[in-house]
């Protein structure tokens, strides 16, 4: 990877470590896949000085210093269990630099409601081959890797997916964080709509149907209006407050598309398609890490006879032979 690209990756990385899978280790950096375009408004004093938040004790009628504040969990009304920083530290997950992929599930079985926040996984250093092989094998299998990892002292559940040769991480909600329809009073089987009404709605859906999703329509109109108003007031010199503060504005994030181009260059996606030797390596890699059940399902799809009596190695060889015959 070019030195400038490597610096950009490390500059924007939220976490760096290693994806481990069997005997394979892939050094990666975690990069945000989205950026906030929300127009944030600061709370100011009349002279334009930014305000700070402080904690107020209503019982003693005074502001509290940071060292006076303790944390507590409310167990009953106005009754708390106090938890110290040392106790929280003892419960913190062990620091780790690994995402250990031990379980792979069909992507279609993951409800999108579980997905919380998206990240790109970029290779680190010059060891690109394991990254490309893992990305290609996962995409070919149609499966996502499920794992946990620790970032900034917090343990996350994460799904690793591959799309167009690039690995993506989706932090996930835990199962008990999601409500069911019954939790909010919805029936599992709502009453069936009248046939005539159903056909009328279906006709309206067809009339408004589009062949593809136009991402240019996924914009924030209120944000655009706010931005336009701010630019207009700035141009006219209306409502501009100048303070003597020295606090610098937050550095604007680089365009995510630019980071994507860096990732693509780093793994050679713009290079020529893989040759037969690389395809063979990919197939060998995928077969080595597939379970016997996965290989059996592949053999079933290829209509290989005698598959039920084959060992994992025999299934792998039979699947490879059948696939090579089809490609010939």
pLDDT digits 0-9 by tens, 129-141:
889 989 999 999 9
pLDDT at 272: 40
Residues 290/327, Cβ–Cβ less than 8 Å: no
Q: What is the pTM of this model?
A: 0.67
Give dist(CA 13, CA 124) in Å, integer.
Answer: 10
In whole angstroms, how large is the CA radius of gyration of the chain?
27
Hey, what long-range contacts does 102-110 have (CB within 8 A, 24 or more apart)? 102/146, 102/147, 103/145, 103/146, 103/147, 104/138, 104/141, 104/143, 104/144, 104/145, 104/146, 105/143, 105/144, 105/146, 106/142, 106/143, 106/144, 107/142, 107/143, 107/144, 107/161, 108/142, 110/144, 110/159
Among 3.40.50.1860, 3.30.460.20, 2.40.290.10, 3.40.50.300, what is the CATH number of 3-37+92-177? Answer: 2.40.290.10
- Please tell me which of 9-13, 65-69, 217-221, 314-318 the model is most confident about, judged by mean pLDDT: 65-69
SS3 56: strand
Residues 121/259, Cβ–Cβ less than 8 Å: no
- At residue 35 the predicted structure's pLDDT band, cuts being 50, 70 and 90, is confident
pLDDT average, residue stretch 235-256: 61
Whether pLDDT at 107 is above 80? yes
Give dist(CA 162, CA 12) in Å, integer.
Answer: 21
CA-based nearest residue to 285, from 126, 165, 103, 135: 135
pLDDT at 277: 52
pLDDT at 312: 75
pLDDT average, residue stretch 104-117: 94
Q: Where are the domains of the chain?
A: 3-37+92-177, 290-327
pLDDT at 174: 92
Whether pLDDT at 147 is above 60? yes
Whether pLDDT at 328 is above 70? no
Whether pLDDT at 76 is above 70? yes
Looking at per-residue pLDDT, the higher value among 50 and 3 belongs to 50
Token pair of 17 as six digits: 């470590």
């Amino acid at each position: 990877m070019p030195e400038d690209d490597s610096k950009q990756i490390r500059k924007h990385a939220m976490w760096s470590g290693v994806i481990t899978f069997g005997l394979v280790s892939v050094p990666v950096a975690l990069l945000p896949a989205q950026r906030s375009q929300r127009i944030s408004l600061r709370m100011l004093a009349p002279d334009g000085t930014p305000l700070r938040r402080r904690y107020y004790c209503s019982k003693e009628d005074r502001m509290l210093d940071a060292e006076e504040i303790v944390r507590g969990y409310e167990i009953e009304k106005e009754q708390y269990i106090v938890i110290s920083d040392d106790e929280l530290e003892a419960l913190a997950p062990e620091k780790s630099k690994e995402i250990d992929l031990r379980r792979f599930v069909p992507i279609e079985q993951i409800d999108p409601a579980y997905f919380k926040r998206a990240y790109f996984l970029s290779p680190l250093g010059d060891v690109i081959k394991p990254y490309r092989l893992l990305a290609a094998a996962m995409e070919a299998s149609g499966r996502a890797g499920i794992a946990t990892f620790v970032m900034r002292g917090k343990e996350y559940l994460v799904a690793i997916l591959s799309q167009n040769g690039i690995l993506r991480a989706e932090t996930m909600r835990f199962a008990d964080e999601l409500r069911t329809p019954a939790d909010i009073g919805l029936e599992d089987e709502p009453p069936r709509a009248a046939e005539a009404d159903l056909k009328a709605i279906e006709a309206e859906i067809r009339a408004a149907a589009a062949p593809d999703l136009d991402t240019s329509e996924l914009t924030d109109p209120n944000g655009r209006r706010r931005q336009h108003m701010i630019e207009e007031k700035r141009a006219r010199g209306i409502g501009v407050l100048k303070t003597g503060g020295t606090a610098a504005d937050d550095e604007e994030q680089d365009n995510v598309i630019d980071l994507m181009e860096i990732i693509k260059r780093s793994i050679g996606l713009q290079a020529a398609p893989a040759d037969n030797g690389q395809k063979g390596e990919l197939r060998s890699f995928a077969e080595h890490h597939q379970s016997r059940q996965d290989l059996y399902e592949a053999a079933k799809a290829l209509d290989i006879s005698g598959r039920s009596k084959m060992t994992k190695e025999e299934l792998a060889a039979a699947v490879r032979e059948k696939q090579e015959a089809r490609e010939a």
